[in-house]
Structure 1
Amino acid sequence: MSSANTTKKYSDRQITAWLRGLLTIAWADGQFDPEEQELITRLTQDELAPHGDLGELKTITGPDLAAELGEDHHTRENFLRTAVMMAIADGVYSVVEADQIKAFGRALGIDLSALQSLEATLYDPAQITTETPQPEVQIDALKPIRNWLDGMDIDDPRLARFICKMVPPQCPFERDIKLFGKKIVHIPPMCKLNPLYEQLVGLRFRSLSYLADDCQEDITEFI
C-alpha cells in the first residue's frame, strides 16, 4: 500500500541534526562496536536519513543541536524524548548517557524535572559489584518520566518508523551473553528489566496507528 499522506514535519537539516544527537549519545560511553554500529544504522539512518552516510556523520554539541533543530519547543522536546527512549530501550540507563542527555536538555532549554525520577535507575559500572544488588525502582516513583514520554507527539512518518524499529513488537526473550564461551551476563525479558517498557510499547502502538491511519502506509513489516 502506498502512502497517501507522508507529510514530513521535520526538514532534512533537522533530521540530520537529530541523528547526530542520537549518535552522540550512543558514543557517550566511548564504545561503539560493529554490532552497535549496525543497530544504530538500522534504527536511525535507514528510517531518518536513508540517503545519508553514517560514516560522514559526526557528534554534535548542545548549542549546535539547538541551532539546527530550531526554536520550536515541541521539536526540541520530541528529540529529547527519543534520546531518552534510545538510552533506556535496553533497560540500562547509564551515567554517561544521562549526563549527555541532560547536557542536550539544558542546551535546548527543556525542563529536566521529569528526568529526575529516572536518576534512581542509573547504572554506574564503577560502583557496581556482583555482591551489590541494584535497588528496585517503584513504578509510581517514575510517574513524571512516564507522563513525559506519553506526551510525545507522533507527527512525522520517519520518526514513527524509527520508533517502530527501535521498540520490538513483543517482549524479547531472556538470553545469555557469552564471551569466549563463558556467560558474562544474563539478560532477563525486557518487560521485567525495563520499568518504562509500557511507555515504549505505547509509543510504538501510537506510531503504528499514525502510519496506518494518517499516512495510509502498509505496516506489515513492523508487526
Structure 2
Amino acid sequence: MASVAHFHYTTEQIQAWLRGLLTIAWADGQFDPEEQELMTQLTQDELAPATDLGELEVISPHELAAALGRDKHTAENFLRTAVMMALANGVYSIEEAKVINEFVEALGLEIQALKVLEQTLYDPDKHHCEGEVLETGVCSAAASPLSPVRPSHPHSDVLEPVRHWLDGMDIKDPRVARFVCKMIPPQCPFERDIKLFGRKIVHIPPMCKLNPLYEQLVGLRFRSLCYLADDCGEDVSQYC
C-alpha cells in the first residue's frame, strides 16, 4: 500500500490556531470549566502535547495573521473551525462575531458566508428565550438558538452560503482531524437541565434542535473520521 502524503501545520501555526480559538471562546465570557477541560484535553492529546493551556493567551489579529502565514486555505480552515466552535451551542453572539471579523480582516479575506451568518446574531437585549427563562428572569444564551432569518423567497435557504462554506473545509492534517472528531460529539447531545443549588434554572433542548447548521458540523466530523481511517490508517473506534 502506497504511503499517503499529509499536510502538517507548523507548531507555530497550531499554537496560533489554538490561541485564536481561545480568544473567541473568551469573547462572550462563557468559557466555563467544561469547555476549558475540553480545550485542555484537545491541546495536550491532539494538537500541541508540549503546550500547557495555561501558557496560552489571547492573540491579536496581527499576531494570528503573521503566524498562520499567507496561505488562504490555511486561513479559511482556521476560520471554519472558529465558526464551528462559536456555533456549537447554537448561538452566534455579537462578541464572537466581532472577534472573528477582526481575524478575517487581518487575514486579508472576504467571506460572504460570514456576512450572511451575521443576520443570525444573538443580541440578548433584543431577543427572548425560545425555551425556558431563568428563574431570575434573565434569558440564558445557551437556551437561545440562532436567530431565524426571513428569506426573500419562501423556498430559498438563506444560510446556504454558510453551509457551502463550512462544507469546503479541507482535512489534510491528522491533528486537526482528531481535533474535529473530539470537538464535535458523535451524536446529538441529549437535552439536559442546568441546576443551581438543587433547583433547575434552565432547560437546554438537544443541540440539533438549536443549531440549523448542525448537519454541517456532523458532516465535517464524518470527513475527518474518513480521512483518519482511509488515508492515515488509524483506528477511529475511540471517536464513535
TM over 0.5: yes
Contact in 1 for aligned 2:92/2:122 (Cα 8 Å): yes
Larger RCO (alpha carbons 8 Å, 6+ apart): 1
In the TM superposition, residue 209 of structure 1 has moved relative to its aligned partner by 0.3
1:99-135: CA deviations, max 9, x gaps? 1111101111121311122123222223334599975
Distance 2:207 2:41 in 1: 20
* Structure 1: gaps (5+ residues): none
Q: What residue in structure 1 maps to residue 58 of structure 2?
A: 59
Q: Tell me by how many angstroms 1:219 deviates.
A: 0.4
In the alignment, which residue of structure 2 is the partner of 1:114? 113
**Alignment partner of 1:127 is 2:126:** yes
Alpha-carbon offset, residue 44 of structure 1 = 4.0
Partner of 1:163: 180
For 2:39, the aligned partner's letter is I
- Paired residue for 1:205, among 217, 222, 226? 222
Please tell me whether the aligned partners of residues 43 and 51 of structure 2 are also in contact (alpha carbons under 8 angstroms).
no
Tell me, yes or no, if structure 1 residue 136 matches structure 2 residue 153: no
Cα distance, 1:15 vs structure 2: 0.4
- The code of the aligned residue for 1:222 comes to Y
TM-superposed deviation, 1:21: 0.5
Aligned length: 220
Residue identity in the other structure for 2:97: A
Q: Secondary structure of the equivalent of 1:127?
A: coil
> How far apart, in 2, do the equivalents of 1:201 and 1:31 lie?
23
Equivalences for residues 7-156 of structure 1 within 5 A: 7-130=6-129, 135-137=147-149, 140-156=157-173
Which amino acid in structure 2 is aligned with residue 55 of structure 1?
G
Task: Report sequence identity in percent.
Answer: 69
Change (3 A) 1:24 1:173: same
Higher helix share: 1
Q: Distance in 1 between matches of 2:166 and 2:23?
A: 21
Q: Per the alignment, in what secondary structure is the counterpart of residue 77 of structure 1?
A: helix
* Displacement over 6 Å in runs of 4+: 131-134
Contact 1:176 1:186 in 2 (8 A): yes
Q: Structure 2-normalised TM-score?
A: 0.85
C-alpha contact (below 8 Å) 1:76/1:108 kept by paired residues: yes
Q: Deviations over 1:160-185 (max 9, x none)?
A: 00110011111111111122222222
Counterpart amino acid of residue 237 in structure 2: T
Of 194, 206, 218, 2:211 maps to 194
CA distance in 1, matches of 2:149, 2:207: 15
1:185 matched to which residue of 2?
202
SS at the partner of 2:193?
A: strand
